[in-house]
Structure formats: structure tokens, C-alpha cells
């Protein structure tokens, strides 16, 4: 027989789902793949979203797919140009009057074993995966700091979110990816440092590390369209089918992840569910480690 004390205990009521209504987000590399999926998730949760990419056509496709003209806008720009991060931050503030969420997702791979990797190739990987997030966050810092100070003084603190994208290549290393792995490892250091610097401003700074997600970076290397043009270079993208199959077999879940699954991990760090989580790296890899 249950005691009356136990019977009379109230049930805890959890509010779900959360809403990001009234929040303004900036997502880089949002023209396709994981970046587009992240923008889709944020917009579906109610956020206003500024999407950035190098490819104007793909950005317009993202806008058209989300089909929320008043809450989704785009700003094209090459983030490796030192002037672009400031311009992207300004465009976001001009459009929405605020920045509450920043997702540093832009990136690509340019692989080779170390003896065949040029200085330019190695630097390109650091530029997009580490220096770009640094510059973008530096550009946003004045707004974040001054706005947080006003909110705290008024007794209405607001939690803001930064999510930097890393990789299991950055946490574990990966043959043929000295530059990519170094950039992705570096952004973890940036994440942990900013978590300590910006905690006083009520900013959660975290990272999500992806394994193999179904994007053009892990497509069949032999496909005719498995390439991109970047700063005058024709860069092959993808992996050999035999390697892809062996990695798939080594993954505990036995498959690659989808962009939507990758975006789900990012959404957690963009949501109120992570308000007391900062300086962390969440691995979204299906259990795979290199």
C-alpha cells in the first residue's frame, strides 16, 4: 500500500517544445548541407535567421526553401576576406536589430598527405576553420558585450549562444588532413577560451564535432561533380568508395548521419536547454572515432 505522502506528490510538468521566437541567428555556410539544415531547424523553432555563404545561388535556394521572407534573409560573402565578418555582422544587425545566436559552420576540406601539402593549402584550412570564426566572433563582440551589460543592469539578463563546428578529425586526427584537422582542433581552443571570457555576458559558447555526415565532403570522390572552385583552385571533394564503406562498417550505428541529425545537435546548443552548458564539445558521429 502506497503512503499518502507519495500519492500526494505533485507531478513535474515539462514545457515542450521550446521556442526561439524573437531570437536572431546568424548561420555561416548555410547555402547547402548541414548549414541549410541548421537554418531550417532554427527558423522552424521561431528564430529569425541570416544565412551566409559564398554561393549566391545556393543562398537564394535556402531562402526559397524556408519560405519565410520576414524572418529569413541572406548575405553573401567570402568569410576568408578580412572585411567580410564585420559586414556580415552589420547586415544581421541591420536586418533584425539583434544577434542572439551565432553558428560558425562554414568550411570545406582540401586534403593531402603532409609531404604534398603546400603552405597555401594548409593556411587555407586554418583561414576558413579557425581564423574565420575568430574574426566573426570578434566582430560581434562589441554588440554582445554592450547589450549584455545593459540587460544585466536592467535586471533582465538574456542568454545568447555561440556554436562552433568542429570534427572528429579535430579531436582524433585523420590521415591526409593535417590542415583540416589542425583548423578543427584550433576552434575547440577558441570555443573553450570564449566560454570563459563571455560567461560574464551570459553567452554559452560550445562546439559540435561531426563524424561522417551525408554532404558533398563525403560523396564518392570519383563523381564528375565532386569538386569546387576556391580562390582559383580546383579542389576535389569526397572520399574513395572503399574507404567510405570501411568507415561506415566501423561506425557503431552502421551508417552515415544526415544533415538533419547534425542540425539537431546544433539546435540543442542554440536552445534554452543548454543555458547551463558552456565550453563543451558534443560529438555527433554515430559513435565513430577515427
SS (H, E, C) 30-79: CCCHHHHHHHHHHHHCCCEEEEEECCHHHHHHHHHHHCCCCCEEEEECCC
Residue with cell 533582465: 156
Cα distances (Å, whole numbers) of residue 282 to 26, 103, 171 = 20, 14, 11
| pLDDT tier for residue 229 given thresholds of 50, 70 and 90 | confident
How buried is 164 (Cβ within 10 angstroms: 0-12 exposed, 13-18 middle, 19+ buried)?
buried
Which pLDDT value is given to residue 5?
46
Please compute the mean of the pLDDT values over residues 249-256 and round it to a whole number. 93
Domain ranges of the chain: 20-212+259-284
Q: What DSSP designation does 273 have?
A: G
**Topology (CATH) of 20-212+259-284:** Rossmann fold (3.40.50)
Please compute the mean of the pLDDT values over residues 105-126 and round it to a whole number. 97
CA distance 281 to 201: 20
Phi-psi category of residue 200: left, alpha or beta, with phi > 0 → left and psi -120 to 50 → alpha = alpha
Q: Which position has the higher pLDDT, 110 or 9?
A: 110
Q: How many residues does the chain have?
A: 290
| pLDDT tier for residue 216 given thresholds of 50, 70 and 90 | confident
Q: Which of 108, 143, 180, 201 is catalytic?
A: 180
Q: φ, ψ for residue 158 (rounded to 5)?
A: -120, 130
| pLDDT tier for residue 101 given thresholds of 50, 70 and 90 | very high
Return the C-alpha cell found at 183.
583548423
Instruction: Based on the residue annotation, tell me whether 180 is a catalytic residue of this protein.
Output: yes
Please compute the mean of the pLDDT values over residues 88-104 and round it to a whole number. 98
Full DSSP string of 88-106: HHHHHHHHHS---EEEE--
Q: Which of 110, 230, 235 is nearest to 180 (CA)?
A: 110
CA distance 234 to 88: 26
Return the C-alpha cell found at 10.
505533485
From 72-76, 157-161, 216-220, the region with the lowest mean pLDDT:
216-220
Which pLDDT value is given to residue 16?
52
Please compute the mean of the pLDDT values over residues 265-289 and round it to a whole number. 97
Whether 19 has a pLDDT exceeding 70, the answer reads yes
CA distance 193 to 236: 34
Which pLDDT value is given to residue 6?
43
Contacts of 64 by beta carbon, 8 Å cutoff, 6+ apart:
none
Whether 4 has a pLDDT exceeding 70, the answer reads no
| pLDDT tier for residue 13 given thresholds of 50, 70 and 90 | low
What mean pLDDT, rounded, does the chain reach? Answer: 92
Give the up-direction half-sphere exposure of residue 230: CA atoms within 13 A in the CB hemisphere: 22
Which pLDDT value is given to residue 11?
56
| pLDDT tier for residue 210 given thresholds of 50, 70 and 90 | very high
The torsion defined by the Cα of 91, 93, 99 and 103, in degrees rounded to 10, comes to: 0
Which pLDDT value is given to residue 63?
92
Whether 10 has a pLDDT exceeding 90, the answer reads no
Q: Using one digit for the tens of pLDDT, what is the confidence trace for 142-171?
A: 999 999 999 999 999 999 999 999 999 999
| pLDDT tier for residue 238 given thresholds of 50, 70 and 90 | confident
Q: Which position has the higher pLDDT, 218 or 7?
A: 218
Q: Which position has the higher pLDDT, 111 or 69?
A: 111
Whether 49 has a pLDDT exceeding 50, the answer reads yes
Amino acid at each position: 500500500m502506497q503512503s499518502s505522502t507519495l500519492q500526494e506528490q505533485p507531478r513535474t510538468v515539462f514545457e515542450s517544445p521550446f521556442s526561439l521566437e524573437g531570437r536572431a541567428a546568424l548561420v555561416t555556410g548555410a547555402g547547402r548541407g548541414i548549414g541549410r539544415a541548421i537554418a531550417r531547424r532554427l527558423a522552424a523553432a521561431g528564430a529569425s535567421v541570416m544565412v551566409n555563404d559564398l554561393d549566391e545561388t545556393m543562398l537564394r535556394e535556402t531562402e526559397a526553401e524556408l519560405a519565410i521572407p520576414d524572418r529569413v534573409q541572406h548575405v553573401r560573402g567570402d568569410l576568408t576576406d578580412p572585411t567580410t565578418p564585420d559586414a556580415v555582422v552589420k547586415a544581421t544587425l541591420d536586418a533584425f536589430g539583434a544577434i542572439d545566436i551565432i553558428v560558425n559552420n562554414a568550411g570545406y576540406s582540401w586534403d593531402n598527405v603532409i609531404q604534398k601539402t603546400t603552405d597555401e593549402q594548409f593556411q587555407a584550412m586554418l583561414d576558413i576553420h579557425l581564423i574565420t570564426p575568430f574574426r566573426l566572433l570578434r566582430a560581434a563582440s562589441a554588440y554582445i558585450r554592450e547589450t549584455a551589460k545593459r540587460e544585466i543592469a536592467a535586471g533582465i539578463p538574456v542568454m545568447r549562444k555561440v556554436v562552433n563546428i568542429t570534427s572528429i578529425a579535430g579531436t582524433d586526427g585523420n590521415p591526409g588532413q593535417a590542415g583540416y584537422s589542425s583548423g578543427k582542433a584550433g576552434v575547440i581552443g577558441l570555443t573553450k577560451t570564449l566560454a570563459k571570457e563571455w560567461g560574464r555576458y551570459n553567452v554559452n559558447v560550445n562546439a559540435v564535432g561531426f563524424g561522417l555526415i551525408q554532404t558533398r565532403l563525403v560523396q564518392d570522390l570519383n563523381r564528375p561533380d565532386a569538386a569546387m572552385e576556391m580562390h582559383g583552385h580546383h579542389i576535389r571533394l569526397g572520399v574513395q568508395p572503399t574507404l567510405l564503406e570501411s568507415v561506415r562498417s566501423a561506425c557503431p550505428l552502421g551508417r552515415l548521419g544526415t544533415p538533419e541529425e547534425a542540425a539537431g545537435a546544433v539546435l540543442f546548443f542554440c536552445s534554452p536547454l543548454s543555458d547551463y552548458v558552456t565550453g563543451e564539445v558534443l560529438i555527433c558521429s554515430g559513435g565513430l572515432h577515427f
